[in-house]
Structure 1
Amino acid sequence: MVRSTRRRCPGFGGDEAGRERQLAGRDGQQVPDAWLYKVAVPAWQNTPDGRVESAWCVVWVRAPDHVKPVPGVSYDDVPTSRLPAPPAEREILGPRRPSGWVLQKLERGRGIIHAVDCEEAPAGAPVLTLDKALDAAEHPGTRLCLCAVRRPNSTPCSRGSNMASAARKTAAGSRRDRHTGEMSLFHADAYDLDDMMVHPRHQAMQPVLAQLIQQLRDCETEEAGVEFQRDLLNRLLEVEKDRAGFKRAAKRMRSGKGPQPEAPEPQSGRDLADAATWRFEQDVCDRLARQLRSVGDALAWRVFGFHRPFILALCRNDSPGLMYGKAGLQAELERVERAFKEDGAFALLHDLTNCLRIGDITVWDGVHPPRTEEIKTNPNNTKSAQLRRINQARAAVLDGGPLPGDNASELLYDLNLPLRTHLDVLREALERAATEGIYATEVPGSRALFVVDQYGCAQQGLSSKQFNERLQQTVDAALQRAGIAAGREDHNIHSTSLDSTARDPLRVPWANYPLHPVACARLIGDYAVATVETSGPALTRLLQVAGLDARWVRPPGNTDLQPGEVVMEIHQQEQLRAVALPGDRSRRLRRRPPTVRPLPGPAPARRALRRSTAAASCAGTPSTR
């Protein structure tokens, strides 16, 4: 037992020289709201044989509440530990909310679960742990207050719909997958969008993505590029390993067996005896792998000098699938390392991307054009079809030959058109939404942009009614300013970023946009959703002013657009041609292809056109263009 003395002790007043000796010889530790210093307080202690002897009691004290510096004395030699700089996402989000929940008991066994800091929470109610809050939430008579629905910096409690999901659904409307045409965002019936957004793995990926994007932007040498590729590979293999484990467990559960002993631990809080729980975890990992590969796509676009023809030519194949467990992965990694160590060249691993689907690696030696290679553990196993696709892709870009595939008429053309964007508008909208939750503005060309940020919505603490009212008012005002509010239900169409990450290999990755890495990460993870809306008749009038005989032919109505649906006809010289509306490949306009000529080789300013069924695709350009 230690008893402190009543004498004035160093660090708390009294002997100035003693205070100097004690304070200068101890540690300083920074905490979020103050500095703490370790000081030794004189005390008495009992010995095992029953005697009492003097002793020092080491304690941490707060400055300046309990200890003050001695005037004229230097403390430069005092060892100090400062807090690390807060991550970028924490600077935007602000202080964390206190964790925990309380139950408001109502009559007839009903109740409401509130966040511990909710204004409507009952005073004096005990704070519930996560397990107890989940148990209470599953009671038939219990509902969740909106404040209890999980926000980005709190612990998961809700298994139902939340406010941010309503924002995405209201802003973006129902959406069909651009490739399959299916209505469901994640093609699953056992969980909804909010379950994915609040999953701990999914939210933990946000700072990882922001860090990887910043690391990519900081790469200035081949060595830095190789190191970045290693880090991205390790992250991806870790996710895919868990994905494979969850898939195996789900399969065993469906056959009446239990999960394998080495199965990764689910983090959704769902019933482990339900096979749907393990399938849900698998789908989470699928989504995270796609997010990581979108950063790999950003690396590919950068090393190709943002030269779209290379991406267009090398994407024309099926997705290769998972890297984890791939038989030839080690050989590919050895080739990447050998290219750097022996030749000082950078070799890009295609399986780290979604957009490069022909060949295994592409090598840049600084002298010759990029060289795509097929790597096999046994050189005799190289298939002629694979080599033919590689050679076709190279010839299409460098020599003006046909693109890989069976249609020899598909060539690359120079449109000689400047790319005009409004990225400054998108950047401001994302920054405003990060703090305000909802932001909308008009965009030149009779368009409106609105952004919903889940972190911003959480920071505002809006009720469901307040949120819906603000969203409606903000969007309506932007549509009015853009001049496209009238007849919205009949003629307006929209394009959204929701669930677009790595869906289209020709789309410029979010990580390449000139935005803050945190903003890019939120777009990748759908915590921020940007939607552009325009009016068919208004767009028609703009084209008519430009000298084109345009007609909006889509019948009035609020039905979903179908892939390949014709919405506008543009007549010029009594001929027709077909293009897609900016940001959506499924919306077709009829008009004739321009007169263009094939290029003999690559040029930095060249943009690519794939002539397929007389369609010029605008896919991959920013949706706010």
Structure 2
Amino acid sequence: MPPMLTDMPSDRLDVLIKHPFHRETGERLIAFIRDLRECRTPEDYVAFQQDLLHATLAANDARAERSRVIKRLRRGQKLPPDAPDLVIGDPHDLDDWRLELDVLERVGRQLRSIGDAMAWRAFHYDRRHILALRRNESPGPMTLSKDGTVHEIQFADQQWNEHRQFAMLHDLTDCLRIGDVTVFGKPDQNDEQDILLYELKTNPNRREGAQFHRTRMAAEALHEGGPLPGHENARLIDTGVPYATHLSALADAFAHAHRDGLKTMRVPGQRGLLALDISAAGNKWGSLEATRQFEAQYAALLRRTRLTGQRVCYGSGDSAARNYLTAPWGIYPLQPAQCAGLIADVLVFTVTLSSDNFVEELRRAGLDVRWVLPEGAEIESSQSLLEINGHGRRLQVACAEIERLLLELTDLQTWAEGIDRLLEKTESRCQPWPYFTEEHKVWA
């Protein structure tokens, strides 16, 4: 398991963030996000995906080369004659190779986060597709050493060359884990478009297995209201409520943080927001004083927000291509450089609320709500934080959904209305996965 940034010593973290591979990728992320926002036609998406594919394969190949060197050095063997050049450090030092491996792991995730943004945009910001197609294990790094990868790339090329259709490669993303390729058909005269999901075979004689079954279930869940893969009672439920957020506050906070190092503010729903521009804060105060300023201003924010009960705090740090429910940073309604900064962790933000304030907000919207996390229990280890009753149904709200509400700065009254509609629509045995309408108005 790759180390989290919060688990690294400060000196190693500093070297990792300033590593040339990391800096170069940060600049490329800005260009990728700008290019993605210009994608309009199938040809645009094909060209964009080709650029992302080349960058991804190069990063994964470089990571594999360093992994090979590390395995030899661990066994006490000499450095192989065809070893890649170590950018920073002593080529005979195992820890220097490990550092570069960690950097390239992060680069790979950052590129997959761009792939996630491509998927959201290609699906017109319809969260249903993400909820249906994420329900599988990650396939791991994309590499041409896998026969399946070569076959998928050839299939995508064929779809474009012969049919002028964009075929999206799932392995370029983290959020699309069921099926191998999605093909976007040509819109008809009513602007309706066929979207076809493919699980490809490298061996045409191979029988259909579990992956084909999951792919079929995902397609039926999207188009026919069938159960989602992995749980016979799990279904997508349309709340019918237009999605709304307060992400404009995040844009304002980062604009101030770019000038002043960091910014705190209160957000509707009795939430506290803190945004930090690491470079600006370092230039203004230095790393040690910046840390002290962060802690002091965060404490002051909590006092101003008057949070009571159990505090719930989630942050953006080190989450690129890790968070399966939250929209990817690349589609946030921010400047491309700010989105890239979130992906690369040179910009970070946290959002905090409390159990008492959260319950109060939801009860004001008419929901019968109870906070179920025991006092002193760790949020990460809990299956659910909230219990909602209504229309003869009981709903348990998981930690991941609360994290999404915070990081997307979802309007709590909108969410509460959607949950009320969900309880009204859902049968007693159903495990609902809600989605809201008109999300494109937030992300596009």
TM superposition score normalised by structure 2: 0.84
Please list the CA deviations of residues 290-319 of structure 1 after superposition, one character each: whole Å capped at 9, or x if unmatched.
100110111111111111112221111211
Following TM superposition, by how much is the alpha carbon of 1:232 offset from its aligned partner in structure 2, in angstroms?
Answer: 0.5
1:434 to 255, 258, 272: 258
| Selected match of 2:99 from 274, 277, 280 | 280
Counterpart amino acid of residue 359 in structure 1: G
What's 2:425 paired with? 596
Q: Output one character per residue of 1:206-255: Cα deviation in whole Å (capped at 9) or x when no partner.
A: 10100111111112221121111111111111101110000000000010
Match of 1:380 among 205, 224, 237: 205
Tell me how far 1:410 sits from its aligned partner. 1.3
When residues 329 and 549 of structure 1 are mapped into structure 2, their CA distance, relative to the original with a 3 A threshold, is closer
- Alignment pair present for 1:525 and 2:344: yes
1:240 counterpart = 2:65: no
> SS where residue 529 of structure 1 aligns?
strand
Aligned to 1:418: 242
Aligned-residue offset at 1:433: 1.2
Quick one: which amino acid aligns to residue 378 of structure 1? N
Q: Residue type matched to 1:366 in 2?
A: K
Q: Secondary structure at the match of 2:228?
A: coil
> Counterparts of 2:7 and 2:306 in 1: how far apart (Å)?
36
Note if 1:330 corresponds to 2:150: yes
Asked whether the equivalents of residues 441 and 478 of structure 1 are also in contact (C-alpha less than 8 Å), the reply is: yes
Name the counterpart of 1:176: none
Structure 1: distance between partners of 2:167 and 2:21:
30
Runs (5+) with no aligned partner, structure 1:
1-179, 599-609
- 1:363 Cα deviation from its structure 2 partner: 0.6
* Match 2:274 to one of 443, 450, 464: 450
Report whether the alignment pairs 1:579 with 2:397. Answer: yes
Q: Give 1:479's aligned residue.
A: 302
**2:414 corresponds to which residue?**
none
Bigger mean CA deviation after superposition, 365-374 or 521-530: 365-374
Relative distance call for 1:500 and 1:611 in structure 2 (3 A) is farther
Residue 138 of structure 2 aligns with which residue?
A: 319
Identify the residue that residue 231 of structure 1 maps to in structure 2.
Answer: 51
Distance 1:344 1:385 in 2: 31
Partners of 1:445 and 1:246 in 2: CA distance: 47
Hey, what does 2:160 align to over in structure 1? 340
Amino acid at match of 1:214: R
* Equivalence for 2:85: 265
Query: Do structure 1's residue 309 and structure 2's residue 132 form an aligned pair?
Result: no
Cα distance, 1:274–1:572 mapped onto 2, change above 3 Å: same
In structure 2, relative to structure 1, the CA distance for the partners of 1:480 and 1:339 (3 Å cut) is: same
Once the two structures are superposed, the pairs formed by residues 110-125 of structure 1 within 5 Å of their partners are none
Q: Deviation of residue 409 (structure 1)?
A: 1.1
* Distance (Å, rounded) in 2 between the aligned partners of 1:421 and 1:538: 18
d(CA) in 2 for partners of 1:360, 1:213: 23
1:257 & 1:520 partners in 2: Cα distance? 43
1:358 aligned partner: 178
- State the 1:611 CA deviation: 5.5
Contact kept? 1:435, 1:459, Cα under 8 Å: no
| Residue among 495, 504, 511 paired with 2:330 | 511
For residues 547 and 258 of structure 1, the distance between their equivalents in structure 2, rounded to whole angstroms, comes to 69
Which residue of structure 2 aligns with residue 70 of structure 1? Answer: none
Equivalent-residue separation in structure 1 for 2:291 and 2:99 (angstroms): 29
Give the whole-Å Cα distance in 2 for the aligned partners of 1:381 and 1:449.
53
- In structure 1, the partner of 2:318 is 499
Equivalent pair of 1:291/1:524 in contact (CA under 8 Å): yes
Of residues 380, 402, 416, the one that matches 1:562 is 380
SS in 1 for 2:324: coil
More helix by share: 2
Where relative contact order (Cα < 8 A, 6+ residues apart) is larger, the structure is 2
In structure 2, what is the Cα distance between the partners aligned to 1:442 and 1:237?
Answer: 42
Cα deviation, residue 331, structure 1: 2.4
Contact 1:216 1:299 in 2 (8 A): yes
Alpha carbons 1:578, 1:616 under 8 Å: kept = no
Deviations 1:542-600 (A, max 9, x none): 2333334444454555x64233255445455786421136542799xxx99713259xx
Indicate if the aligned counterparts of 1:493 and 1:535 stay in contact, CA closer than 8 A: yes
CA contact (8 A) 2:174 2:321 kept: yes
**1:87 — aligned with what?**
none
What SS does the aligned partner of 2:313 have? strand
Cα distance in 2 for residues equivalent to 1:442 and 1:334: 51
1:394 to 1:197, Cα distance in 2 relative to 1, 3 A = same
Separation in 1, partners of 2:11, 2:208: 42
> Sequence identity, in percent?
37
SS in 2 for 1:265: coil
Residue among 203, 206, 211 paired with 2:26: 206
User: C-alpha displacement at 1:393, in angstroms?
Assistant: 1.0
- C-alpha RMSD of the superposition: 3.2
Question: Residue type matched to 1:529 in 2?
Answer: V
Contact kept? 1:190, 1:276, Cα under 8 Å: no
What's the offset of the Cα at 1:282?
A: 1.6
In 1, Cα distance between equivalents of 2:294 and 2:7: 27
Q: SS state of the match for residue 138, structure 2? A: coil
How far apart, CA to CA, are the structure 1 residues paired with 2:198 and 2:287?
56
Partner Cα distance (2:37, 2:54) in 1: 19
Q: Structure 2 CA distance, aligned partners of 1:398 and 1:354?
A: 22
In the alignment, is the contact (CA less than 8 A) between 1:297 and 1:355 conserved in 2?
Answer: yes
| Alignment length (residue pairs) | 418
Q: 1:225 to 1:463 in 2, by over 3 A?
A: closer
Any idea what SS the aligned residue of 2:118 has?
helix
Going from structure 1 to structure 2, the CA distance change for 1:191 and 1:328 (only over 3 Å counts) comes to: farther
Q: 1:418 corresponds to which letter in structure 2?
A: P
CA distance in 1, matches of 2:7, 2:25: 21
Q: Which of 471-480 and 341-350 deviates more?
A: 471-480
Q: Which residue of 1 aligns with 2:39?
A: 219
Instruction: Kindly indicate whether residue 364 of structure 2 is the aligned counterpart of residue 545 of structure 1.
Output: yes
**Structure 2 CA distance for aligned equivalents of residues 303 and 245 of structure 1:** 33
Q: Conserved in 1, the CA contact under 8 Å of 2:69 and 2:79?
A: yes
Letter in 1 for 2:246: H
2:392, 2:109 → 1: CA distance? 45
1:355 is displaced (CA, Å) by 1.0
Classify 1:595/1:497 alpha carbon distance in 2 versus 1 (closer, same or farther; 3 Å): same
Residue pair 1:580, 1:616 contacting (<8 A) in 2 also? no
**How far did residue 471 of structure 1 move?**
2.8
Residues 109, 321 of structure 2: 8 Å contact kept: yes
Asked if the contact 1:345/1:365 (under 8 Å) is kept, the reply is yes
Does the 8 Å contact 2:275/2:350 carry over to 1? yes
